[in-house]
Amino acid sequence: MKVSTEPVERPKGLYRNLYVQVLAAIALGAFIGHFWPGTGEALKPLGDAFIKLVKMIIAPVIFLTIVTGIADGRDLKKVGGVAGKAFAYFIVVSTFALFVGLVVGNVVQPGAGMHIDPASLDAGAVKNYATKAHDQTIVGFLLNIIPTTMTGAFADGDILQVLFISIFFGIALALTGDRAQPVLDVLNAFGAAFFKLVAIFMRAAPIGAFGAFAFTIGKYGIASVANLAALVATFYVTSFLFVVVVLGAIARATGFSIIRLIAYLKEELLLVLGTSSSESALPSLMEKLERAGAPKSVVGLVVPTGYSFNLDGTNIYMTLAALFIAQALDVDLSLGEQLLLFAVAMLSSKGAAGVTGAGFITLAATLAVVPSVPVAGMALILGIDRFMSECRALTNFIGNAVATIVVARWEGTLDRKRLDRVLARDPKPLAGEVPAEASAD
């Protein structure tokens, strides 16, 4: 009888689990921010530093994943098929998210009864956002996808520009054929090194989450949420139901459980919650989706593109917040004006993609087209926007994870056995598969 030589895995203490560490860091950050707000605000650099660490490697990770994914397959028809299916999914689901926000805003009416005088609003508080929104035109957005230089896209960290370069460079390698193999081997080696770097940086996630959450509570205070609790509660409940019901139905139709997917991504979701940024978990999300059976070529295209075009949480927020402002200012929007709001939001949510503070900026761009609702009304939600940004980021993150698996299933390239095993948290590897623990360390 053959005796197994595999080392016996010792149980890992709870304190060594990243999920527990981030959760404890968020709780500690909230405690310090509430009782010592000055100290909480001073901890902001910790969160900023961690986000900068992650953003530093997002561009090369996207580039290496997409280029090697396209060049390894060398089937350009499949690349076009993945892109087409991804955009079809984005348009349908993100548009439905806008519709959900519009319906909930009309039914719940969170801003009704506030009777705010528009003259009393501080227009200067939102002037900067309105200016940025005005600068973001559809034509300007499309032209900005093309970088000025090859290196400029990486220097600026512009995801769409990196995506543009990566797709065409991957196509070029695929068309070059066997002569490009040495370049591809080098890029694959670089990819392995960068994902190891991701694992190293993720060990600092609890520190980043601690600093970011302490700043949020210390700066804005829990009381600022209570003042506009109806809007915050409505947004959180709507987003939760969208994830469980809408994305849950899509997941069920695809053959997996949304609850199990959320459990599988719990470390990343806590990181997004703590930092209010879905970008902080982007490299880890790509790695985990590949581990769950989605091919590199699909993950590399769908995830980065979805971060700009598949913003379910942001879309719910836009229509819901716009109706809240109108109701709070006693502005009665007609059906025609609401349909205009909906149509403009469909465009502006794409036109301002990738812009810092995109949720607030796209809202300003949308309101600017509906003259009956003053853009200055955004001052009503400026103080609580930070608290809603966490929910936007979480919903966007889950939506893009679901989109990637769905597109992989449509392409017929999803490893269903591996997906089922990973989501069921079965540690036993499939035949010929490297254990996840070995590849992740």
Q: Contact 436/291 with Cβ under 8 angstroms?
A: yes
Helical packing angle, 76-108 and 229-241, nearest 10°:
140
Q: Is residue 296 part of a domain?
A: yes
pLDDT exceeds cutoff 50 at 356: no
How deeply is 120 buried, as exposed, middle or buried, from its count of CB atoms within 10 A (0-12, 13-18, 19+)?
exposed
User: How confident is the model over 151-157, as a mean pLDDT?
Assistant: 80
Q: Which amino acid, residue 253?
A: A
Q: Say what angle helices 159-176 and 296-309 make with each other, to 10 degrees.
A: 150
Amino acid letter, 209: A
53 near 194, Cβ under 8 Å?
no
Query: What residue type is 425 in one-letter code?
Result: R
CA diameter of the chain: 85
Task: Please indicate, yes or no, if residue 1 is contained in any of the structural domains.
Answer: no
Q: What is the pLDDT of residues 77-101, one digit of tens each?
A: 777 788 889 889 998 998 899 999 9
Asked if 354 and 311 touch (Cβ cutoff 8 Å), the reply is no
d(CA 46, CA 34): 17
Q: What pLDDT does 220 receive?
A: 67
Q: What SS3 state is found at 277?
A: coil
What count of other Cβ atoms lies within 10 Å of the Cβ of residue 97? 30
pLDDT tens digits, residue range 359-390? 666 677 677 666 677 766 776 676 667 678 78
Count CB-CB contacts under 10 A for residue 327.
24
Tell whether 219 is covered by a domain. Answer: yes
pLDDT band at residue 262 under the 50/70/90 scheme: very high
Read off the pLDDT of each residue in 57-80 and give the average, rounded to a whole number.
Answer: 75
**In the numeric block, which tokens belong to residue 246?**
């809408």
**Alpha-carbon torsion, ordered 369, 370, 374, 375, to 10 deg:** -40
- Contact of 302 with 86, CB cutoff 8 Å: yes
Q: How far is CA 34 from the centre of its chain?
A: 27
- Provide mean pLDDT across the span 48-71: 79
Q: Is the pLDDT of residue 29 over 50?
A: yes
Structure tokens at 235: 């947004």
Task: Give the residue carrying structure tokens 């980043």.
Answer: 208
Quick check: is 8 in a domain? no
Handedness of CA 228, 48, 199, 66 (dihedral sign): positive
Alpha helices in 352-426 (DSSP H): 358-367, 379-382, 385-411, 416-423
Q: In this model, does residue 111 exceed pLDDT 60?
A: yes
| The predicted structure's pLDDT at residue 159 | 72
Q: What angle do CA 331, 333, 337 make, to 5 degrees?
A: 140
Q: Report CA 398 to chain centroid distance, whole Å.
A: 7
Q: Tokens 């560490």, residue?
A: 21
State residue 67's pLDDT score: 82
Q: For 62-72, what is the mean pLDDT?
A: 77
**Position 3 in a domain:** no
Average per-residue pLDDT for the chain: 78
Tell me which residue range forms the domain holding 72. Answer: 15-440
Distance (Å, whole) CA 176 – CA 365:
44
User: What would the two tokens of residue 249 be?
Assistant: 């139905």
- pLDDT tens digits for range 287-341: 899 999 998 888 888 888 888 778 888 889 888 888 888 888 888 888 888 888 8
Q: Concatenated DSSP letters for 26-72?
A: HHHHHHHHHH-HHHHHHTHHHHHHHHHHHHHHHHHHHHHHHHHHHHH
What is the tally of structural domains in the chain? 1
User: Which of 32-36, 340-344, 435-439 tops mean pLDDT?
Assistant: 32-36
Average pLDDT over residues 202-229: 74
Measure the CA angle with vertex 242, ends 291 and 254; round to 5°. 45
Q: CB within 8 A of 396, min separation 6: which ones?
A: 278, 307, 310, 311, 312, 313, 314
- Asked, for residue 155, whether it belongs to a domain, the answer is yes
pLDDT of residue 19: 67
Task: Answer whether residue 247 is part of any domain.
Answer: yes
Task: Give domain status of residue 5, yes or no.
Answer: no
Say which amino acid occupies 359: G
Give the CATH number, domain containing residue 435: 1.10.3860.10
Question: For residue 355, which amino acid is it?
Answer: V
